[in-house]
Amino acid sequence: MKPHKIDPIARFPDHADAFGKAWRLNLDELRRKAGVLAENDAALDIWMIEAPWAHPFWHSYIIGLQHLRPVLGGDVIIHRPGATHEFFVAALNPDAPREPFMLGDASPAYLTPLNFVAQLVEESDEVARERVRDAVLRICAGSLSPDTDFRGQWVALYGGHMLRDHSRPEGAPLQ
């Protein structure tokens, strides 16, 4: 596999720093295009981050945040006692254009498995958004890598309660 060219994004980033750029997606527009009502959607924030320094083959990542309150037709699974929010980090497929996803014209083409998932215990949606925004800023500054080789950085910041130790009975969670 060879490194890929980075496809251009027409919109100016919401944040840029020495090691990356980040775009905050417009959830209202994404919901409108998908025909989803806000009250039936747990999503609170979605960021698309360009951080080519983090991995030689994938240059962009998505970070999504959702609340863990019940919504119509959705199941809430709590892995951390008292959890109020959950976020994930995923690498985006470098062969898929990013802008159609950002505009709500395509689903995100993220790679699996996800790079990191954590549940947070926060006093409000805004506090949870700020924690995710802090991660975005750290990635763009080059002090937090979204790559799976640096999962320990994420565990230090957010805990490892969603990670499983498959060498233990029933894949017990790491603490």
For the residues 104-116, what does the mean pLDDT come to?
A: 93
- Can you tell me the mean pLDDT for 160-172? 59
Structure tokens that stand for 158 in this block: 């957010």
Amino acid at 42: A
Q: Determine the pLDDT at residue 140.
A: 98
Element (H, E) at 28: helix 27-34
User: pLDDT tens for residues 5-63?
Assistant: 899 999 999 999 999 999 999 999 999 999 999 999 999 999 999 999 999 999 999 99
What burial letters (b/e) apply to 162-174, b meaning 16+ CB within 10 Å?
bbeeeeeeeeeee
CA distance 21 to 141: 9
Q: Where are the domains of the chain?
A: 15-171
- What's the DSSP call for residue 92? B
Tokens at residue 4, please? 């890929």
What's the half-sphere exposure (Cβ side, CA atoms, 13 Å) at 2? 2
pLDDT-derived band of residue 163, with 50, 70 and 90 as boundaries?
confident
Identify the residue with better confidence: 160 or 173.
Answer: 160
Contacts of 114 (CB under 8 A, 6+ apart): 88, 89, 90
**In the predicted model, is pLDDT for residue 2 greater than 70?**
no
Q: What is the reported pTM?
A: 0.90
Burial of 89 (0-12, 13-18, 19+ CB in 10 A): buried
pLDDT value of residue 165 = 56
- The residues pairing with 88 across neighbouring beta strands, listed in sequence order, are 64, 117
3 residue type, one letter: P
Return the structure tokens found at 139. Answer: 């990635």
Q: Average per-residue pLDDT in the chain?
A: 90
Supply the pLDDT for residue 19. 97
Whole-number pLDDT of residue 9: 94
Mean predicted confidence (pLDDT) in 87-113: 94
Dump pLDDT digits (tens) for 134-162: 999 999 999 999 999 999 999 999 998 88
pLDDT at 1 over 60: no
Tell me what pLDDT residue 72 has. 82
Token pair of 110 as six digits: 């993220």
